[in-house]
A and B are shown apart, each in its own frame.
Chain A
């Protein structure tokens, strides 16, 4: 965290002219003194309505059972798994930015890591709903965990579904801890800057008495660095384990060794798209262009371009193995993707994930927030389609023609999916209003004033 100020010929990480005081005031005033705008209320209201729709859809699901969804034999994993994988993938960019870029000493991350971590947390929360509600008897979802019980049965640890329970719950726990630890010094800043007593008390309780002692900072930095070191293999393992849910099965289109790296790359791809879709409006609305500069947008676009090409490589290998592998079921899967009833979505997927994002090679478009926002939206749609293709198209026509079928999502599927977007956005709206969305103390370390000359 204590990298010195960055001298770079490209756009700066932080515009010149800021001091320790002005950085602190600018970020903390968004939370403490800036009046809540009508636009915030409208945006939060819409997101909250969608969240209510989610609760309604889930309540009805609990009353009627999963028959209200489009899932049936042979497609037992419909929207629930598609959305689960989509959301958990989006979360990965937050951990990548906060942990991996910290280890790589990429100090530009300091202005986007906080809200990217918040994004991770809310995306994992949205993802976590799906496996719990799709089990059919959600009130028994705790059976997923190993606990001593009177039935004297235990989970079966050779199953990827059990690995997934451990991977996702560890990921959710560590993401929350990492985010909270990062917040403690900033909560102390808010405690000391608040005018009202009740704000002082609330932020004070959350800051736990942080006073910035050199001993505390030393242990804090050690713990933070170690957490980053732990989160780095963790984030790579989470989507690997998610891909095992598929790859360990023998269904054509799932049973491939390319899945783990291609899932991880796809996760980071969609995650950076979501980071951009959040960062671009936030920096505009809250006038944070000095902190989230063109450099950040450019770097995020480059990461998207790189991971998008890894994903494209995954598609090419899948198709190549279908053609070259000599397995008739794999060959049919390829034919079915290109010519079957869902072929439109496969071509859409290729357009959204491979063709359209290539415009980011053009420097002019890469530095245009509007273009980046649009391309990010396209990537998010594309990555959702990818999971739809993997789940639905693989299952709907497997080995026996007699067990072929079609999958049509119902209105309840759509309400649940769009409802989780409401959950995600409601949480984001509350976050930007109540907590510092940019890490204040890490921004301070980027200033010339923080440079230590010996």
Chain B
């Protein structure tokens, strides 16, 4: 990737409708490396920028399976192998009694996987990011909507991107320095 000194070209929008419309148009125009920013989750925006593969459910499934297996096998090993104790004539392998801890461990591991998996896939924590340099980007957490075409996009040509974004009724357009 050649360094151009520019991270991308950012357009600022007033409303969620103009943002969604613009995101769809930019994707349809063939730009691949784009992103959109909004102060709340917007239905259909991820699809509009061409994001389809969300691996969080898989991470949670794997975490839950590991948790459940760990819980059950731990109890089996402790109660049958390592420290068998006869309690009221109950079998060492009292599987119905083991279900509760197995269940709790499944939930615990799946929940932790959901949180850590989401953060890791999102690349967070990341206290600094070039898009924070865009003018008024602080309003992306209040009431403004942003759309960026990254300079790493194969079709990226500064003047073309700028004029294309200008046709989408933005409030303003700016270059984001790298």
Contact = CB atoms under 8 A, between A and B. Distances in A.
B125 A212 contact: no
A449 to B, nearest CB: 7
A209 B128 contact: yes
Contacts of B29: none
Contact of A230 (B15, B85, B110): B110
B120 to A, nearest CB: 10
Contacts of B114: 223, 226-227, 230
B33 to A, nearest CB: 12
Contacts of B140: 192, 211-212
Contact of B101 (A166, A212, A218, A222): A166
B48, B125, B132, B137 — which one has the most chain A CB atoms within 10 A of its CB?
A: B125
B64, B83, B101 — which one has the most chain A CB atoms within 10 A of its CB?
A: B101
B108 A173 contact: yes
A156 B46 CA distance: 49
B173 to A, nearest CB: 19
Contacts of A205: 125, 127
B131 interface: yes
A154 B83 contact: yes
A155 B74 CA distance: 11
B164 interface: no
Given A208-B119, A226-B60, A237-B100, A2 B107 contact: no
Contact of B118 (A163, A173, A220, A237): A220
Contacts of B139: 192
A241 B102 CA distance: 13
Interface in A231-251: 231, 233-234, 237, 241, 244
Given A209-B127, A214-B35, A445-B41, A230 B111 contact: yes
Interface size class of B (residues with CB under 8 A): 35 or more
Interface stretch (A16-24, A269-277, A340-348, A421-429): A16-24
Interface in A7-66: 19-21, 24
A21 B143 contact: yes
A219 B107 contact: no
B124 A209 contact: yes
B115 A155 contact: no
Nearest to A217: B41
Nearest to B15: A449
A450 interface: yes
Contacts of B117: 223
24 contacts: A19-B143, A21-B142, A146-B74, A146-B78, A155-B78, A157-B79, A157-B97, A158-B79, A170-B108, A173-B112, A174-B111, A189-B141, A211-B137, A214-B42, A214-B49, A217-B42, A218-B41, A221-B41, A223-B115, A223-B117, A226-B56, A226-B57, A441-B40, A442-B40
